[in-house]
Amino acid sequence: MRIGLFAVGRLKAGPEKDLAVRYLDRFAKTGPAVGLELARVAEMVESRAANAETRKREEAVQLEKALVDGSLLVLLDERGKALDSEAFANLLATFRDSGKRDLMIAIGGADGLDPALHARADAVLCLGKMTWPHQLVRILIAEQLYRAVTILSGHPYHRA
């Protein structure tokens, strides 16, 4: 299954980007052995509209355009469901075995993600109850994707 990571907002060159890239590279190298492939990392432009609802809608339009037809959609949101790393790995394996070819993971901007995306999401996950800046969320999900493929492949990186 091909996994795309889509984020509203730019990750500028610097230590946050370096760390996110490091984990995504590890994921890209380790994932194919367990049928998970990094297909794409894409950044959406943050909307400058006057109100939050319009900003979220405009950002969602960009995300919707980038969605591959028939793709599974996972949103990251602090109000979402908390999974431990093994459960996240198992969820990815279930999606992989579902017959769908693509999975899109979306990170919102300063206002979060549009309700229309929530309505069509296959899962809404949190990385803890606290709110993180999108830059840190990029690093956290990149590391958890890498950790998930090490769990699925029995690699000793993850020690329960």
Ligand X SMILES: C[S@@+](CC[C@H](N)C(=O)[O-])C[C@H]1O[C@@H](n2cnc3c(N)ncnc32)[C@H](O)[C@@H]1O
Alpha-carbon span 142 to 149, nearest angstrom: 11
Query: Is beta strand 37-44 parallel, antiparallel or unpaired with respect to 102-107?
Result: unpaired
Question: Least distance in Å: CB of 134 to ligand X?
Answer: 4
Binding string, residues 135-154; x marks residues near ligand X by CB under 6 A:
--x-----------------
Which CB atom, from 34 or from 134, has the smaller least distance to ligand X?
134
Q: Is 35 annotated as a binding residue?
A: no
**How many other C-beta atoms are found inside a 10 Å radius of the C-beta of residue 56?**
23
| Residue 115 C-beta: closest distance to ligand X, Å | 11
54 is in an annotated binding site: no
Does 4 contact ligand X by CB under 6 A? no
Shortest separation between residue 99's beta carbon and ligand X, angstroms: 27
* Binding map of ligand X across residues 59-98, x = CB under 6 A, - = no contact: -----------------xxx--------------------
Phi, psi of 51 (to 5 degrees): -120, 155
Q: Which of 10-47 are b and which e, b meaning 16 or more Cβ less than 10 Å from the residue's Cβ?
A: ebeeeebeebbbebbebbbebbeebebebbebebbebb
Q: Does the annotation place 108 within a ligand binding site?
A: yes
By C-alpha distance, which of 32, 158, 160 is closest to 96? Answer: 32
CB–CB of 151/86 below 8 Å? yes
Answer yes or no: is 76 a known binding residue. yes
Binding-site members are 76, 108, 127-132
| Residues contributing to the site for ligand X (CB under 6 A) | 76-78, 107-108, 110-113, 126-128, 130-134, 137
